Amino acid sequence: MSDEYRERGFIVRRGLVPADLIGEINARFDAIAEGQEARADNLQVVRNVEVAKGFHTPETPGLGISKMNFFHNDAVFSRYTHHPALLDEVQALIGDDLIAMNSMVLNKPPNVDGRHPLHQDLLYFPFRPAHHIVGVWTALQEITRENGCLVMIPGSHQGELLEHDYPDWEHLNHLFVGVKGVDASERVHLEMQPGDTAFFHPLIIHGSGFNKTQGMRRAIAVHYANANCEDIWAGQKQMLDKHSPRDDYRLVRGSDPNGYCPAA
Ligand SMILES: O=C(O)CCC(=O)C(=O)O
């Protein structure tokens, strides 16, 4: 594990995911979002809350989509999850037996509030210890402060899991909760090019801002856990959503001694 990751709680590897894969993921996203290709089993397509509630009507259906979740059965998106360069980095950070989970393509459309409040991802995961989990997030296009890049508070992963709640905003996207009373003044902005990839600790406080452009802001993300972790929810349903977290587990390297993942 690099000193930078240990001290700051995140690292960015430039150009890690090749342009051809980035292009295929974007094309697949657009085709599903516009209803031109069928979605794989379990893939959940989530509209932005303002679109879903009729406050904003986008020009095309795809311009209203904020996320695609649970993509392990998708032949294109899942190439990302198994990408060797990415798994080599993950293995160096959290060990050899790797479960992929929480798969999603994150799309921040224009003209809606797609902000993601500052939060800690450990809230969503039953695995412990926390440092045996890592979030991996790759830009699918140029991502800047203008279109709502990731922000991180360096070193915040050295604290505890803090209390979260929905922010006091007019439009609240489902499960976009934030740390209560957080001081955002120390945050840094991660501007990225397509293929650049952030690796981050599940306790780091992070989020993202408005997309102030007329284009999309799109990224793909998966979390990985060491399969030897303890499951402190003992397979029970996640507290914040109706899905069991185990629906979205896949063994991607090594072995699964606790049998957390469905059989291949
Ligand atoms: O892509 C984003 O805007 C933020 C994503 C994020 O923080 C998360 O999914 O935990």
> Is residue 27 scored above 70 in pLDDT?
yes
List, for residues 156-184, the tens digit of each pLDDT value.
999 999 999 988 888 777 778 899 999 99
Q: Where are the beta strands (DSSP E) in 109-212?
A: 116-119, 127-128, 133-139, 150-152, 164-165, 178-179, 188-190, 197-200, 206-208
C-alpha–C-alpha distance, residues 159 and 243, integer Å: 28
Using one digit for the tens of pLDDT, what is the confidence trace for 43-85?
999 988 887 888 888 888 888 999 999 999 999 999 999 999 9
For residue 240, pLDDT beyond 70: no
129 preceded by a cis bond (ω within 30 of 0): yes
Cα 122 to middle of ligand 1, angstroms = 13
As its CATH architecture, domain 3-183+191-253 has Sandwich (2.60)
The residue whose CA has the least distance to atom 3 of ligand 1 is 208
Q: Which numbered atom of ligand 1 lies nearest the CA of 106?
A: 1
Tokens of 98: 């790797």
Q: What is the pLDDT of residue 174?
A: 74
Question: In sequence order, which ranges of 42-140 are alpha helices (DSSP H)?
Answer: 49-52, 77-81, 84-94
Spell out the domain ranges in the chain. 3-183+191-253
For ligand 1, atom 6, the nearest C-alpha belongs to 207
Q: Mean pLDDT across the chain, nearest whole number?
A: 92
Positive or negative CA dihedral for 73, 99, 174, 205? negative
Residue count of the chain, please give it. Answer: 264
